[in-house]
Amino acid sequence: MEALSTQKELSSALKHQARAQGFEPVGIARLPGSARMRLRSAALERWLDAGYQADMGWMAAPRRKDATQLLEGATSLLAVGLNYHVKHERMPGRLAIARYGWGRDYHRVVSQRLKRLGRWLESQKPGTHWRACVDADPLLDKAWAEEAGLGWIGKHSNLIHHERGSWMVIGHLLCDIELSPDPPAAPLCGRCTLCMEACPTQAIREPFVVDSGLCLAYHTIENRDAELPEAIKAAMGPWVAGCDICQDVCPWNRGDIPSNDDPDLQPRQWMLDLSREQAMTWDDTTWQEQLRGSALRRIKPWMWRRNAAAAEPKDVPTLDKSGSR
């Protein structure tokens, strides 16, 4: 009984430390997870078999289906969310950049903070082995976040929290000690299909299934072809780096959702006020300087110019933020 009490205390203290690092929500899952994780792995296989990963071959990494291949002996996982919703908006008539990329590179922010948690955990339990993971690691990150109770995977494939919406990036801390798990999140999308209806390319082929080959985010960030497909160019609107349409229309992102004043997440002003002329005329050196420390460095300067040439700077309709769920 004493060991269980210690396990609960350590788990509670770890989550408290995670919140002190700016993470919310936070939760814990035990490996290998519930039957839901097997269903998520099977869904990944079907998605890959359908070719919906486009050119993202790394999605097929076998390790993605087995977290213990990332940390030998892993038995528990701390899942964390970092809210990137801030009190800023894009200037009218400018090119659009997805919100997740406005601030400092979230891979570095989340990884650095998770490593602090790993060192804290090791100080409490000497000999503990741990590994910090962000979405660049081969892990079913959204599925494990769902398993740890952070939220449910919506029909647009993003993780949704019932009070914070889907404006969050997620990270995980694997460890080889037993922690007290939280209950998995229950899905609450119901019959809503707003995200599917709003997608200008119908990339959400069916609930929870996104075809990357039709997704504006994939084409503006990952597509290395000199020219974008004509159908994508026709549907781009103002988007030149990612796309937030499916999240913008989600009822769970309306109402009084929290904004984050964390300095690491505040936008670079040029991202809110980017004109086509700037995007087309900045040379490679200027782009490299503007993108220093940004997750959007993945988009090469020539890709920014390619995307801007196809985009149509315009206002995105303002949504009713008080809409009912």
- Residue 248: count of CB within 10 angstroms of its CB: 17
19, 71 Cβ separation under 8 angstroms: no
Whether the Cβ atoms of residue 83 and residue 167 lie closer than 8 Å to each other? yes
Whether 109 has a pLDDT exceeding 80, the answer reads yes
Q: Which of 196, 58, 217, 236 is nearest to 135 (CA)?
A: 58
Given a contact cutoff of 8 angstroms between Cβ atoms, the answer to whether 81 and 151 are in contact is yes
Torsion angle in degrees (nearest 10) through CA of 289, 291, 297, 300? -60
Residues of the chain above pLDDT 70, percent: 94
Distances (CA, A) of 92 to 44, 229, 255: 38, 27, 22
Average pLDDT on 105-126 reads: 97
Type of residue at 25 = P
Rounded distance between C-alpha atoms, residue 316 and residue 245, angstroms = 9
β pairing state of 96-97 and 159-160: unpaired
Question: Band of the pLDDT at 319, cuts 50, 70, 90?
Answer: very low
What pLDDT score was predicted for residue 123? 95
Instruction: Give the pLDDT mean for 186-210.
Output: 96
Each residue of 96-124: b (16+ CB within 10 Å) or e? bbbbbbbbbbbeebbbebbeebbebbeee
Assigned token pair, 184: 């998995």
What pLDDT, on the 0 to 100 scale, is given for residue 325? Answer: 42
Contact 294, 219 (CB under 8 A): no
The two structure tokens encoding residue 311: 């985009």
Q: What is the pTM of this model?
A: 0.91
Give the CA angle between residues 15, 145, 63 to the nearest 5°. Answer: 115
Residue pair 239/311 in contact by the 8 Å Cβ criterion: yes
Q: Are 37 and 147 in contact (CB under 8 A)?
A: yes
Name the band, by pLDDT with cuts 50, 70 and 90, for residue 58. low
Share the mean pLDDT of the chain.
92
Residue-wise pLDDT tens digits, 6-44 = 899 999 999 999 999 999 999 999 999 999 898 898 888
Active-site positions read 135
